[in-house]
Amino acid sequence: MAYVGQAGMGKTTLLAQARRRAAVHGCIVLWARGGEREQRVAFHVVRQLLQPLFASLSEEERARVLGSWANVVGPALGLVSPDAGLSPDHQGVIDGLDWVVTDIAVRRAPVVLIVDDAHWADSESLEWLTGFTARAEELPPLVAVAYRPDELPPVTEAFRRLAKRHGSRPYELAPLTVEAVGLLLRDKLGEGVDEAFCRECWSITEGNPFETVELAIKIL
Ligand X SMILES: Nc1ncnc2c1ncn2[C@@H]1O[C@H](COP(=O)(O)OP(=O)(O)OP(=O)(O)O)[C@@H](O)[C@H]1O
In the list Mg ion, ligand X, none, the entry touching 148 (Cβ below 5 to 8 angstroms by class) is ligand X
Q: List all residues 6 or more positions away from 197 whose beta carbon is below 8 Å from its beta carbon.
A: 185
Stretch that binds ligand X, among 20-28, 46-54, 194-202, 205-213 (CB under 6 A): 205-213
Q: Which is nearer to ligand X, 5 or 96 (CB)?
A: 5
d(CA 123, CA 39): 7
CB count within 10 Å of CB 173 equals 19
The interface with ligand X within residues 173-202 (CB under 6 A) comprises: 184
Partner in contact with 75, chosen from Mg ion, ligand X, none, beta carbon below 5 to 8 Å by kind: none
If binding is defined by CB under 6 A, does position 4 make contact with ligand X? no
Binding-site size, ligand X (CB under 6 A):
14
Which parts of this chain interact with Mg ion (CB under 5 A)? 11-12
Q: Would you give the distance in Å from CA 58 to the centre of its chain?
A: 27
99, 171, 197, 210: which one contacts ligand X (CB under 6 A)?
Answer: 210
Residues 141 and 164: their CA atoms lie apart, in Å, by 19
* Smallest distance from ligand X to CB 148, Å: 5
- For residue 29, list its beta bridge partners: 112
DSSP 8-state assignment for residue 81: P
Q: What stretch of H or E contains 172? A: strand 171-172
Q: Which does 123 bind (CB under 5 to 8 A by kind): ligand X, Mg ion, none?
A: none
For ligand X, the nearest residue by Cβ is: 10
Closest to 162 (Cα-Cα) out of 121, 127, 211, 191: 127
| Residues near ligand X (CB under 6 A) | 5, 7-13, 117, 148, 184, 209-210, 213
